[in-house]
Structure 1
């Protein structure tokens, strides 16, 4: 069945509309034909019933029928083509009227008479096929004297009228179907024009190079084709939303690719320096034959430790980016912050370290080691990028969430650096002098650890007022 239908939506809609018109035309024609036939048949039956009166009168008054072919005023049937019969003392006699005005008649054949008299008396008229004469509506009646009379009228006028009606209905139905097909083609194509425009937009997007590179803004379905009250508008609006999601996904992919490239370049650069140092000291020791290997080994160990720290940080970032679950246990954030600040005081006594935490313990669910690492990274960042005598305040706030704030009154962060401070291998510039260099992974580790704990990391900075905030879900 599907093979017989057109493949296009336009063709299917046209065929559907034409079929509906054809079905409706057929139903109307059939109903009109049946009603008309019933109406004409009722009229014919009324005439047949009326014709029984004269025949019954002749039988009741015992008026003999004149010889066949002789003109008379009272015959078995009045209309031309009508037939009649009645029982007599010698049997049953029947006649066919062949001329009008009560004129000539001829005797029925035995087969025709037998078919006529087969109709039961005192019943509604019924259709009988009279041999040699055609179809008749026949009725019979029995008089009080016991005589039975039959009368019948031909149905050819009814049949002719119905045949003519069917022919005109068929002609008009075919014309209506043809007109429906032509009008449906025009109207359907016009109504589907917006859908073709939406499809054209989709094809235009397909033709764009989406496999690589930055995509930017793609084409959109025009606003007039995105009305949510129409089916085409719903498709257009959904396509625009889909294109928006695709753009975001492609831009995110491109950004991720760029980050990976930059990450590899930065990691290679960071690893190249200690490797070059180790290689240089090894060659120096081999060529000069110096007797102080301890100094060389100390330098090699220092650079190897630097590489080990960098590799461990990159491995941790890779694991967190891969969605690896962290340990989920109750963590006393209050104790964690107190210990981290006390450690910072020991490591960096040149700065003033203060903390403000609630008296009651505050707990969250997470990995204590990773949370401690995140806080330590923030404290180390404050130590490296602020001048001596700077005050660093660590505050713990609890409402619907748990917030850890690390505030300092140092020179602040360059405004151009703030949006990318949590990216990998991002370092502070000269506005934040640092005592020692880092790989630039500390802040990216803070953000990754917060993300793994379903939290966030943010920063607000201006000269003399810099605050890093870690937000965690409350237990």
Structure 2
């Protein structure tokens, strides 16, 4: 089947399906670590700039309000405590040790708290003292009696582990806050008397509960306020930035236009409503419109210049074909008549050779002009496998001093395209190897299909293309240096035609070169694989010799 189309001197091998490059599991964590943090949008930054100061203000106001209310509540407790201390001082009858002192403790007021009833100190259980009022007598640094008024109005003993706290209160008449464990915080005052020191206190539970409710209300109200402010701010910021989004959308649509070649019209503009110079967004929109006007004018001028140049090249190429053909015909006619001196015959041969070269150059220029003008290609199904074998056979006949090899898959690779132009692509690639590499160079043509894309490679082990020349290798009239000489008369248009034809098929072409290895790669979309029948001859088995 396929082998009969390959001449001797061409070696064929079967290619294996290439694996696509991908990340290994070891590379994934490093890739994740190297990713930069995602930047915040302008809307997010504006919302944060609004909400953070608002939260700080609410926190400061809440703290100040809580401190003020706490001071007011403590002042009220201290006023009631001063009254309780005064009642205790008037009702104090001395310690309960059987010594009546000056005998004034036996009146009726103190009688409500006689030592014999065992409910608490006599100065505590007097009319006017409220629930939770605390009283203790300290003698020689020790508490001799203490109690707290219960809900029923009678005295209840204090926990023994908290009595020592009361003994340490200085008798200076100043109000202090002490922690009495299960009883909570108390506001206490110690005053010196003739029988020692009495300590009077009032609970802070009600004040602390009021402060806790105030803090809870402040927190809930602050959070609700922040949420409401955030929602309103998001709506306001979104409406404010909407014109900027439209400006960005216009710029994005313009960026997606193919501006590199062809006739381009930039119909996109920022609406006039968003170009008000009195606003920041309006100034941006107006500047973008002016930029688009300038770009459109420049592109139109470039397109007109390119159109004139292409027309000139096409007309000149077309007009040159006739005189060049005439020169070739007349020189050939003169040579056939014979009878010319040897030097004249040699001159005519040189004239004919240069005419042939000029004819090829004119044909190449005309082809490029037609491709630039957007001439449609004749699209059909092309057997790339057979195309490769035909082109390599021709290259072997034209350059027997080189070693030609093919690396084909086990099945035919088909792709939509213009068969004549794709054959010219492959012929130019092989001619480039034959022209710019020394005799004895091995050139390998590979073909494979990858995910619906036909990949055609022409590799050689020649001297390579200098790195500084590789970016422009597919430009027109690109010339190499001495390492890839043009001794055979290269016009510098072969690879330019390759690039133009491949781009016309929607594909890509690339080069990878270093000393000892040069690979020109063509990728064509829409490839399919036609499986061979079971009795078809294996294309990998090809009788060949390396020439």
Tell me: higher relative CO, structure 1 or 2? Use CA pairs within 8 A at least 6 residues apart: 2
TM-score between the two structures when normalised by the length of structure 2: 0.44
TM-score between the two structures when normalised by the length of structure 1: 0.50
Larger radius of gyration: 1
